[in-house]
Structure 1
Amino acid sequence: MRCPDRSGERSHRSTSPAALPRREWLAGAVSVISLAGCRSQEDADTSAARRRRTDVPLRVVWVGGDEDAEILKRAWSSISEQPLDVRVVAPPRPIADSSSDQSAENVELNVNSDLFAKASAADVLIYPVAMMSQLVSQKSVMPLLSQSANADTPSVIGEEGENVFASEDRTTIPVALRIATTYSSERLATPMGGYLPAVLLGEESSDVSISDWDSYEEFVKSSDGKCCEPTAPTWAGAMYLWRLASSLTATWLFERESLRPLFTEPEYVAVLEQMRRAVQASVDAESGRTPGEIYTAVANGKLRGGIGFPQRNRASATEDADTGETGGPITLASLPTGSSSRRAEQTQLGLRLDPSRGMVDPFMLVGSMASSCRQTAAADTFINWLAGGEGSEPLYRGISEFVDTKTAPSESSNDPLENYRSWLNKQLSDASFVPTLQLIGATEYYAALDEAVRECVHGDKPAKDACQEITDRWARLHRKFDLPSQQRNWRRAQGIS
């Protein structure tokens, strides 16, 4: 006997609660309400617990030394319960705080960085600014959180949910450092400082006027060579770039469309030739020094002048304390501009003098959020803290690459670093800055430049031959890293999409 077809009845029951037995409907409704209530309470408890959790380590890739990484962890632990998982990567340039001789001839630039491999499993990256372009090309960094987006996000949550300290206002960053950390009109990093070279005049030379590179060269000769510029390994290339930036107003380093290196142009050769003459006339003709070593020598009266800036170095600080040498006053001035003949010609014709452009150190440390970041609010807070947040003072006292550009320096202090910071803040407020080597493989470009410059200023290689070598080696690196990609990266570094 065939059963009657009740499919229509089942369909009707499944779509209309009115057709359900009253007892069954009430039981189901109570069950749903109870379940929803449990879930709402459970979600609220879970959300609150997540906000209060500080046991998930923040993964930080640190391009620097182990000793500096320990300073970083101790300082952070004093203001936050969140642990740090710091992965240390050897820096391209030797660390000034190490006890090794920074001027040793066997010092080389480290071009084989593990940064790019470790960036894929990190929350925060602390690295030299010249490596930004390659990180961008590998999609390893993301833009920093905007101030408006971060305004409602707790910076660090305490036991009762309060903010331990507030996110810093990035508009306080000096304009030159904002330019250096902006890529294709996006803020991708926060600077941890920004040393610039200064003309240093000792107590005996405080009344000397140096307005252009010709007068600087004359001062080197008149001081019996007791005036030096940084040409130690890994520093000579930067010094040449600083000279170029302050001397030239033409296109910077490359032909804009083809990216052809411009070092064989007469003005580039002339700048290197003048640098060679000045170095050869100095007491550093055979080998060079770092900016910090030059500063210390000027302060102690061993040099009458030079180009450099104060660098913290535990080894040299201990040595000075042992010898009782505390150093004398130093007059700081901006780098000279172009030649005196050029300035005289412009003055005679009633033209405005060429502005002096600057460039940040290619290995200035900056902080970025990694694309693999799993704690964006915590990472943003950590980066803000690094850049001068509450409790970060030990970083600026103990890590040589860090320099405070946020807080006002003490005008009454006799501390050389405070006097330098006062000068530095004014320099960094100038927008006339050129981009550093923002290219894929930037450290390899810089290594080729540094080697050729040192062979010229401390060896027998003519400036013209050294410039040709730089051009040839950079052209080969263009091909190695794909010329169209490099053209795109260089344009974006200058804010051209």
Structure 2
Amino acid sequence: MTPADFPSDRRRFLVGAAAVVASLEVGCSEQKQVVTPAAQSRQNVPLRVLLVGETDDENAISRGWQAVSEQELQIDVLPLDRADSSGIGDALLARSKKADVAIYPLLLVGEAARNDAVVEMTADEVKRIELEVGPLFPTARNGGARYGGTTYALPLGCALPAVVAQTKVDPLESWEDYDQLVETEWARSAAEPTAAGWAGMMFLWRCSGIKNWLFERKSLKPLVNTEPYVTSLELMLRTNERYAKKDQTPDQIWALVGEGELAGGIGFPARRSLAKSNAQVFSLPGVIELSRIVLDPFSPVVSLSASCRQTTASKRFIQWLCGGEGSRLVRGQVAGMTDLRGVASYSGASSPYDEWLAEQLQAPLTAPCPQLNGAPDYLVALDENVRRALNGEVTAQKAMDEVAEQWADLTSAMGRGKQMRAWRMAQGLRA
């Protein structure tokens, strides 16, 4: 058992959790009766969990929960394809009506909150959970747990890309330095995430230091076709021409470097259980000078569904998944979940990537993903056009002009005023 699990014996865990959740006033049910652990264990009604993610992850969550609770989980898996995520928001809203708890991507928090599909958490409730399982790292707290100044979800993972290599890499001050590293020291034996569903996100990670982020503040006019974004994509295209491997995902690159098939690249493990590797881990170019971190919009979060029928059990499950007994092992087996609390970096079970990530997540400032109405459509438009440029079909300028036009059309279709309010809330401001 690791320090990140905040271990206790089973009775202490159940009693403590029940006492905490029973005292909370916010929930999806008006029932205020205290449910004792003994009474709860006799319940035969399964806890309904909606998991927007991978089918293979269902068993890991069920096994972990069964180790600390006698209540059965009924997990409804909504498959997520980040390469074609259009429509996933509507599917979440529909399926959450039959769930007590929802585990879903960060980019859908705004849409779920605006449609009253999930329940707001009070500051007192968040504090009580932190007393039990530890405080969130600053990046996770500010970028993954806040929407419009309110907490609607708790983050379960914040994986970030790293420069991974066979040998030591000196700090890279710019992406031009990285381009030269690929060409000279690595002799082109490298790759970065450009597979479908990842190319657009990799572009945003490269752009994280740009001051004016994605949209004009007052008009929501897209800025992605302006000079700094176009220049960033042009350099990405140039470096991509050098790579020995193309169309890779972050975890594929992580494995290729760890197995010695590539000298280096940019990547991270899809699951923390796969994080141990022979690869060395370093920060992206210019990270010392960056004022903020861009979180993957598909990072998993957990919320209390507005349709839940078991308030006490649901809150206990959420608290457990965030850091209860045995939950670290579960998070290590589920795609996208990482350590976000406590002292996991000092555990002997932690990998160099775990330790590096814990350091990165101390940064207090984040740049929001497009948490707008229809957010997946914005990301699909970006990803498809970045990949067109990578494949040589269009220039960087033309690709970004297409993205800007498609984003503007999406904003008009959804309603500019509605989207401007959503963008303000994505930045932590109240509408």
Q: TM-score range by the shorter chain?
A: 0.7 to 0.9
Q: How many residues align?
A: 392
Hey, what does 1:184 align to over in structure 2?
A: 148
State the distance in 2 between where 1:412 and 1:68 align.
24
The TM-score, its normalising length taken from structure 1, stands at 0.73
2:116 partner SS: coil
State the distance in 2 between where 1:61 and 1:377 align.
17
Query: What's the offset of the Cα at 1:406?
Result: 2.3
Identity of matched residues, %: 35
Q: Which amino acid aligns with 1:294?
A: I
Which is greater in Rg? 1
Q: Which of 137, 152, 174 in structure 2 is aligned with 1:212?
A: 174
Cα-to-partner distance string for 1:150-187 (whole Å, 9 max, x where unaligned): 85xxxxxxxxxxxxxx8754761111111122011111
State the distance in 2 between where 1:465 and 1:119 align.
39
Does 2:422 correspond to 1:422?
no
Hey, what does 2:190 align to over in structure 1?
A: 227
1:141 partner SS: coil
Query: What's the offset of the Cα at 1:373?
Result: 2.3
State the distance in 1 between where 2:335 and 2:415 align.
35
Query: Retained in 2: the 8 A contact 1:409–1:419?
Result: no
Query: What's the offset of the Cα at 1:79?
Result: 1.0
Structure 2: give runs of 5+ residues left out of the alignment: 1-32
1:111 partner SS: coil
Does 2:254 correspond to 1:337?
no
State the distance in 1 between where 2:336 and 2:230 align.
31
Structure 1: give runs of 5+ residues left out of the alignment: 1-44, 94-107, 152-165, 318-325, 339-352
Structure 2 CA distance for partners of 1:207 and 1:393, relative to 1, 3 Å = closer
Q: Which amino acid aligns with 1:399?
A: V
Q: Which amino acid aligns with 1:433?
A: T
1:182 partner SS: coil
Q: Which of 241, 255, 259 in structure 2 is aligned with 1:296?
A: 255
Q: Which amino acid aligns with 1:283?
A: A
Structure 2 CA distance for partners of 1:221 and 1:121, relative to 1, 3 Å = same
Q: Which amino acid aligns with 1:438?
A: Q
Structure 2 CA distance for partners of 1:46 and 1:275, relative to 1, 3 Å = closer
The TM-score, its normalising length taken from structure 2, stands at 0.84
Q: Which of 257, 261, 276 in structure 1 is aligned with 2:218?
A: 257
Q: Which amino acid aligns with 1:265?
A: T
Query: What's the offset of the Cα at 1:149?
Result: 8.6
Query: Retained in 2: the 8 A contact 1:176–1:430?
Result: yes
State the distance in 2 between where 1:487 and 1:171 align.
34
Hey, what does 1:388 align to over in structure 2?
A: 323
State the distance in 2 between where 1:148 and 1:281 align.
51
Root mean square deviation, CA, Å: 2.6
Query: Retained in 2: the 8 A contact 1:189–1:368?
Result: yes
State the distance in 2 between where 1:59 and 1:310 align.
29
Hey, what does 2:102 align to over in structure 1?
A: 125
1:183 partner SS: coil
User: Greater relative contact order: 1 or 2 (C-alpha under 8 angstroms, separation 6 or more)?
Assistant: 2
Does 2:28 correspond to 1:79?
no
Q: Which amino acid aligns with 1:127?
A: Y
Q: Which amino acid aligns with 1:257?
A: K
Hey, what does 1:143 align to over in structure 2?
A: 120
1:125 partner SS: strand
Hey, what does 1:89 align to over in structure 2?
A: 78
Hey, what does 1:450 align to over in structure 2?
A: 383
1:88 partner SS: strand
Hey, what does 2:268 align to over in structure 1?
A: 309
State the distance in 2 between where 1:364 and 1:288 align.
21
Hey, what does 1:398 align to over in structure 2?
A: 333
Q: Which amino acid aligns with 1:126?
A: I
Structure 2 CA distance for partners of 1:170 and 1:140, relative to 1, 3 Å = farther
Does 2:384 correspond to 1:440?
no
Does 2:300 correspond to 1:365?
yes
1:431 partner SS: coil
